[in-house]
Structure 1
Amino acid sequence: MRALWTRQNRFSPISSIPPEILGAIFVHHAQQMRSLYSPDTPAFLSWLIVGHICRHWREVALGTPELWATPFLNSSQATEEMLLRSKMAPLNLRTGLRYCVVSVQRLTVLGIKELSPECLPTLDELISVLRCMPALHTLELEDALPTLPPQTTSLPCTPRALNVQLPHLKRLLLAAKILEVANVLARVELPDSTMLEVQLRCSAFSSMNPNQEWNLSLPIISRALESCFKATPAKSRRVPRTLRLHTFTYNMLVQYSTVWNPSWVPDYFPDSQWTVVLYFDSEISTAILSDLWRLVPFNNLEALYIEGFFTCWDGFWTDFLGHGAARNLANIYLQGTRRLFEDLFTSLRSQRHSLARSAVGCSQQGQIFAPALSHLALDSVEFDTSFWSFRRVSDLFDVLVDRANEGRGLDHLTITRCTGITTHDVRLLREVVANLDWDEDDATG
């Protein structure tokens, strides 16, 4: 009997519709049903009835991948079956938090990355959603922050009493244009916690001078740093013990850690150990660094790593570590520009015992620069043999003799991938350094 009905249906007018057009009709009908009803109502899937009308319609439905390209996410079994039937058709995934409001209040980890412009929330919408998530301990928003108009020249000022409170927050990552990061950061009240880890990745805001952007963002970023560090830390406060400055391509990386491990090497730094991580466009690096020295206390800094083509200024080391700052600094790793290398040698001199040629601003009266320095690592540094340069090996030797005469000699010197230095030079340096590692030792025999 069923076979007879099938043969009769072939002669009905509707059976003359080409399968491609019939499939398009099914897709349009399914889209209408999904737009009219919410996923938690039975009518949301009422379009499935098209596959139960007759054998021909079922074959057309199963042969139309686009019909199944919007999986029903409320059921894992239905989702799996729809994904199989959709074959290689582009998927259309839709979900929303309005179906799990109760669960949102218990959410502890929220990570959103690379939202399309039409999906970006407004600042008020974002803050409103975060208020519903008081249990969050990890918040990561990458290219998912509210945007600002291109002509923005100031950030809105909102009373701190209206900021969102995230008392359990342990990790915060915001990545966007610098003003957009500051705009969101201003509305998030960071907890007074010894477990807080902050990572900010900031790109330039195209319509404004980079230094202007930084000046607008500075008060907000400084408040975030205060949540991690204090100039006069209490017992419950953490202080930075390790600082890393790294430039690569067009960006600058600034990392602070409250711990220091002598086994750390620049080729491998454990990401989990950094308390504050800041990414900035290198074109505003000088302005940023000048302000960060004032914002972050370096009194307990023990290790400093500088890598890449780092931009410095005259008197950089004196501004950074002079005037009694960083008296606990014991380790310096330097892979930098000629200017940075030369300025370090100039700053390390002692006026009292210097054997070297005089240099403007080369010493500090009454104080010895970085008195606790015991380990110095020079990587990919170019020594210069010209008389007018202060990057000669003899200058390094004079510095080491100066410090030894002050009772501040180095315990360990590492020289790696450096040019302009010979076996004779290394033999001379070993006379004033307890331990010297040179990567050419094996090659020279």
Structure 2
Amino acid sequence: MTLPAPLDNITPKSANTLVEQSVVHIDNELAALAESMRALRSRRNSLARISCLPPEILATVFKHIVGGEGLNNYTGNYHCPPCLKVTHVCGHWRRVALECPSLWAYIDWISPCWIVVMLERSKKAVLVVSCNASTLPRDSLERVLSQLPRIKVLRLHTYLSDIDRVLDHLSSQPAPLLQNFKFSVIGGDSHLASSPMSDTIFQGQAPQLRGVELTTRSVSWTSCIFSGLRTLYVRRIGSASSSTLPELLSALTRMPDLERLTLERLSISGGNNVVDRVPLARLKSIVLSVAIHTSVALFAHLALPDDAKIVLNLTEIEGHQNFSDLFSAMDAGSGKFGPVFRSLRVCLLSLSSVIQFSTSMEAKSPTSWNASDDDIRLSIQFAWNASTTIHSPIIFDICRMVTQGKIRSLSVSSSMIIQEPFWRAGSTSLPELEEIQISSSSIGDLLLTLQSQRDMGYRSLHALDLNDIDFQEHELPELHSTIIIRKKLGASLHRLRLASCRGLMADDVELFEEDVEYVDWDSYEEALESESEESYGGCHCPECRNPSSDASADYFF
């Protein structure tokens, strides 16, 4: 585009009036071009296939994107609302977004400056709110909590020093639409006194509340929030006074449809007027991280479905009697768990152990163990004080108490040397065991148990899975000898799996293949050797890498 002839010859040295007229004319032309480009882009966007989607479908897609991007967890950082992205694509998308109130209902760790906008654009839509009540400006917090009657999900984090102020806000109005409530106390002085979750919260009116998650110092079990729940998680922090058993049980009687119960670090004292047993007929899982005596007291007054998953993290273990009391309280003697368990998974540490009973025969690496796995019906982690002596064979005492069924698979992990009494106890308790998986431990004492001709252990064993084993010089010949002895005595190994094992080479594996039907080796040691040679340009033994070193010095690949 060219300038009109009268303006074409204007230069910076021309008269000011002419220069100004020329600039104004050019600016007008640029504005017109910009508007033409905007109109063309808008027209081009309207020809895209996605423009065929009805506004209600577009809005559904937008809500799915925004809901998926919600952080839902404490991060400490605020951000811009994700729904803003769709308003900057084109005019059509912006109109659809602005006409969809529920798209603006996710006040999920958003910057305080956007809260007013979100509340206005969400109109009367139900809200999902996540924020730190202590770091959010007070006026912003008041604006958000003034909307309690239309909040569906509320996740609040607060410092201990601000609990009373936040609870006052939560007690100012009813919450008729609230379905999930999370309240977490973070940081602060552990010596500060704080009020419990009072009976006046939500003015006693939260009829649709189904999920509660509390991390706080003290709890009032008479609060309205402990009624009609399907999910309850309570974790105590600090050294607040204990709850009484009647208080807790009374609250549970108001939750007949409870499906998931988690109690962590609770101290529960006895009391009068304890009910016989609280029926929780729909419970799918219970997780307790408490002292053993607390767990016993609680199970003695709960009636659970036979298929409920149980996860226990127990402290203050003193010995065999603790578990006898526990399973007696759980009423497990009548075959509560029965023959459903097929595998036993064990992790042995210096002052704690983990034992898991699974309905699956699948061998899993201990690093992948997860008590929430569908096949793990009972998981127990227990710890004891250094002044207490707990012998590892207690694992099999627990096994006998839990199930009379036929455990077919045993998985053991430990950084310690597992001694022969453990393996002997296992052989006695698990006579029909078919598979053993051992990880990160010495296998010397296991081999002694497997190769004894006078009293050979695990006669039904046909599969051995060795993972992350650092073979000592004598252990490979002993393993081969064990395989031969068992073959001669009619107790052959049919499958040998060797994964991530050190000190093992191809020649050793070839010997095993002569006497074992199926050997699975991942060539781990050879892979390491190949990598080292590439890294160092040749042999990696001490003599080649450092000729002055002692060839007998310890080294590993």
Code of the residue aligned with 1:203 in structure 2: it is T
CA deviation string 1:236-276 (max 9, x = no partner): x44321111124686422111123236x4444346222111
- Find 1:425's aligned residue among 508, 511, 534: 508
Q: Partner of 2:145: helix, strand, or coil?
A: coil
Per the alignment, residue 424 of structure 2 pairs with 318
TM-score by length of 2: 0.51
Q: How does 1:82-231 map to 2 (within 5 A)?
A: 92-93=166-167, 94=170, 99-100=204-205, 106-115=228-237, 117-118=239-240, 121-143=243-265, 145-147=266-268, 162-191=276-305, 193=306, 195-204=307-316, 210-211=317-318, 214=319, 217-223=322-328, 227=332, 230=335
* Letter paired with 2:259: H
Q: Distance in 2 between matches of 1:303 and 1:382?
A: 23
Bigger Rg, which one: 2
By how many angstroms is 1:116 displaced? 5.3
Please give the TM-score of this superposition, normalised by the length of structure 1. Answer: 0.63
Offset, 1:370: 2.0
Residue type matched to 2:441 in 1? T
Q: Identify if the C-alpha distance between structure 1 residues 228 and 274 changes in structure 2 by more than 3 Å, giving closer, same or farther.
A: farther
Q: State the secondary structure of the residue aligned to 1:404.
A: helix
Matched-pair contact (CA < 8 Å) for 1:304–1:333: yes
Alignment of 1:347-426 (within 5 A): 347-351=449-453, 363-364=454-455, 368-385=456-473, 392-426=475-509
| Match among 141, 146, 149 for residue 75 of structure 1 | 149
Which amino acid is the alignment partner of residue 184 of structure 1? L
Could you tell me which of 386, 391, 396 is aligned with 1:286?
391
Q: Who is 1:54 aligned against?
A: none
Q: Do the aligned partners of residues 77 and 435 (structure 1) sit closer, same or farther apart at CA in structure 2, a change above 3 Å counting?
A: closer
Rounded to whole Å, the distance in 2 between the matches of 1:117 and 1:73 is 34
Q: Is the 8 A contact 1:228 1:238 kept in 2?
A: no
Alignment of 1:223-302 (within 5 A): 223=328, 227=332, 230=335, 237-247=338-348, 251-261=352-362, 264-269=364-369, 271-281=373-383, 286=391, 288-289=394-395, 291-297=397-403, 299-302=405-408
AA paired with 2:313?
A: R
Name the SS of the counterpart of 1:252 in structure 2.
Answer: strand
| Alpha-carbon distance between aligned partners in 2 of 1:159 and 1:314, rounded to the nearest angstrom | 49
Task: Kindly report the root-mean-square deviation, in angstroms, between the aligned alpha carbons of the 2 structures.
Answer: 3.8
- Native 8 Å contact 2:418 2:445 kept in 1: no
Contact 1:158 1:187 in 2 (8 A): no
Q: Give percent identity, aligned residues only.
A: 22
After superposition, the Cα gap between the structure-2 partners of 1:216 and 1:295, relative to the gap in structure 1 and judged at 3 Å, is closer
Residue type of the alignment partner of 2:489: E
Residues in 2 aligned to 1:220 and 1:299: alpha-carbon distance in whole angstroms: 21
Contact 1:72 1:78 in 2 (8 A): no
Distance 1:225 1:67 in 2: 45
Note if 1:329 corresponds to 2:433: yes
* Helix, strand or coil at the partner of 2:514: coil
The alignment partner of 1:107 has SS state of coil
Partner Cα distance (2:293, 2:146) in 1 = 39
Alpha-carbon distance change, 111 to 328 in structure 1, aligned in 2, over 3 angstroms = same
Q: What is the number of equivalent residue pairs in this alignment? A: 331
Q: How far off is 1:403 after superposition?
A: 1.7
Unaligned runs of 5+ in 2: 1-136, 157-161, 172-197, 209-225, 531-557
Aligned mates of 1:411, 1:230 — CA distance in 2: 33
AA aligned opposite 1:189: A
Quick one: structure 1 residues 120 and 431, their matched pair in 2 at CA, closer, same or farther if it must change by over 3 Å? same
Query: 1:250, 1:281 within 8 Å by CA — same for their partners in 2?
Result: yes
Provide the C-alpha distance between the structure 2 equivalents of 1:422 and 1:251, rounded to a whole number of angstroms.
35
Unaligned segments of structure 1, at least 5 residues: 1-62, 84-88, 149-155, 205-209, 352-362, 386-390
**Compared with structure 1, are the counterparts of its residues 332 and 169 closer, same or farther at alpha carbon in structure 2 (3 Å cutoff)?**
same
Cα gap change, 1:119 to 1:295, in 2 (>3 Å):
same
Partner Cα distance (2:152, 2:376) in 1:
43
1:298–1:326 CA contact under 8 A, matched in 2: no
Contact 2:227–2:251, Cα closer than 8 Å, also in 1: no
Aligned-pair distance for 1:407?
A: 2.9
How many Å separate the matches in 2 of 1:293 and 1:64? 55
- SS of the residue corresponding to residue 509 of structure 2 reads helix
Q: Deviations over 1:187-244 (max 9, x none)?
A: 32333x2x2111111234xxxxx52xx456333322366539839x8xxx44321111
**Shift of the alpha carbon at 1:173?**
0.8
Q: Which amino acid aligns with 1:319?
A: A
SS of the residue corresponding to residue 332 of structure 2 reads helix
Q: Secondary structure at the match of 2:515?
A: coil
CA distance in 1, matches of 2:234, 2:519: 48
Alpha-carbon distance in structure 1 between the residues aligned to 2:432 and 2:447? 19
